[in-house]
Amino acid sequence: MSNKVYIGTIAVLVAILGYMAYLLNQKNETIVYIDREKNAVMDERDLLLMDLENMKMAYDTLQTDNADMQSKIEEQQEELASLLKKVKNRDYDIRKLKAEAETLRTIMKGYIHQIDSLQQANDRLIAENQAERNRANQAESRSQELESDLSKRNEIISKGSVLSTGSYSNTGINLRSSGKQVDTDRASRSEMLKSCFTVRKNAIVKSGSKTLYLRIIAPDGSVLPGKESGTFTIDGKPEVASVSREIDYQGQDTDVCVYYTAQGELKKGSYKIYVYESNNLIGQSDLVLK
């Protein structure tokens, strides 16, 4: 073989080996590029998965009393669960997955804004309701104060419209055959009891005829009986008086003497004399007979 042929053959082989080396290098670069692309896609999926997991936790915290909005939130939670499943199964285009994830994020932000607005409105309503309750409580308190004041005023007026008595002078009376009345402090000689007192001036009490009832309590605690003395009421119960008398009261101090005729022999001891008018106790005094 001539040198030229030999050299030509070697040149061809070198060329072929060079081309094959070039092809192998291109293949390796393609493989590296594909691996990088694959790793990049894998990294994107992992990042997207992490993002979706965080978004799921955020959706789980969304709570509202608005039934329609809560229903929509639950629908988006189902969409998010489906999207997570696709990412984990790696059976869906990453760009579409990211687009859907961004849509869910935008919707979630809208819900957060709406819930915040509703909460602020609810807080305002709560504050307004509390203010109204406070005003109502203040009004009720004021009403109770006024009612209490009115009650006290009515009580004062009621008490003021009751007669009162004073300047008592009590004694036993012995009747002489001549008809003369003689004061005595002896029980055995007393045929009558005389109670004198003053009905006080009262500008509130209406003038006119007033009936006074005397209830005389004997030393043994019994009520001295009287003839046609009338009845009045004590604590809602009818009581029989020992004696009664009508007076003409004209809003001025009025001196009164009331006589009680004994229905039997009077006992020694202390007698309690209570005076009533319009079922109100207006005075009391004592009388001691020996």
Highest mean pLDDT among 103-107, 123-127, 266-270: 266-270
In this prediction, residue 70 has a pLDDT band, given cuts at 50, 70 and 90, of: confident
Q: Taking residues 194-223, what's their average pLDDT?
A: 91
pLDDT score recorded for residue 38: 44
Q: At the topology level of CATH, where does 165-289 sit? A: Immunoglobulin-like (2.60.40)
Residue type, 7: I
CA dihedral 97, 101, 104, 110 (to 10 degrees): -150
pLDDT score recorded for residue 23: 60
Average pLDDT taken over every residue of the chain: 77
The whole-angstrom separation of Cα 229 and Cα 193 is: 14
The whole-angstrom separation of Cα 253 and Cα 116 is: 79
pLDDT score recorded for residue 204: 84
pLDDT score recorded for residue 2: 58
Q: What is the pTM of this model?
A: 0.48
Q: Do the beta carbons of residue 239 and residue 280 sit within 8 Å?
A: no
In this prediction, residue 141 has a pLDDT band, given cuts at 50, 70 and 90, of: confident
Q: Taking residues 191-195, what's their average pLDDT?
A: 92
Task: Return the axis-axis angle of helices 94-160 and 3-61, rounded to nearest 10°.
Answer: 10
Q: Where do the structural domains in the chain lie, given as residue ranges?
A: 3-115, 165-289
The whole-angstrom separation of Cα 263 and Cα 109 is: 103
pLDDT score recorded for residue 246: 92
In this prediction, residue 156 has a pLDDT band, given cuts at 50, 70 and 90, of: very low
What's the full length of the chain, in residues? 290
> Which of 114-123, 188-197, 240-249, 267-276 has the lowest average pLDDT?
114-123
Highest mean pLDDT among 67-71, 237-241, 252-256: 252-256
pLDDT score recorded for residue 150: 55
The whole-angstrom separation of Cα 70 and Cα 77 is: 10
pLDDT score recorded for residue 32: 42
The whole-angstrom separation of Cα 34 and Cα 27 is: 10
The whole-angstrom separation of Cα 281 and Cα 258 is: 16
Q: What is the distance, to the nearest Å, from the Cα of residue 218 to the centroid of all Cα atoms in its chain?
A: 55
- Of the candidates 196, 181, 192, the one whose C-alpha atom is nearest the C-alpha of residue 283 is 196
Q: What are phi and psi of 248, to 5 degrees?
A: -100, 105
In this prediction, residue 284 has a pLDDT band, given cuts at 50, 70 and 90, of: very high
Q: Taking residues 243-248, what's their average pLDDT?
A: 92
pLDDT score recorded for residue 85: 77
Sheet holding 243-249, edge to edge: 243-249, 208-217, 269-277, 280-289
Q: Taking residues 25-47, what's their average pLDDT?
A: 52
Of residues 195 and 128, the one with the higher pLDDT is 195
CA dihedral 147, 153, 156, 157 (to 10 degrees): -110
Q: Do the beta carbons of residue 53 and residue 62 sit within 8 Å?
A: no
> Which of 23-32, 127-136, 163-172, 186-195 has the lowest average pLDDT?
23-32
Give 159-177 pLDDT, tens digit per residue. 557 888 989 999 999 988 7
Q: Taking residues 251-273, what's their average pLDDT?
A: 92
pLDDT score recorded for residue 5: 60
Q: Do the beta carbons of residue 250 and residue 207 sit within 8 Å?
A: yes
Strands 269-277, 231-234: pairing is: unpaired
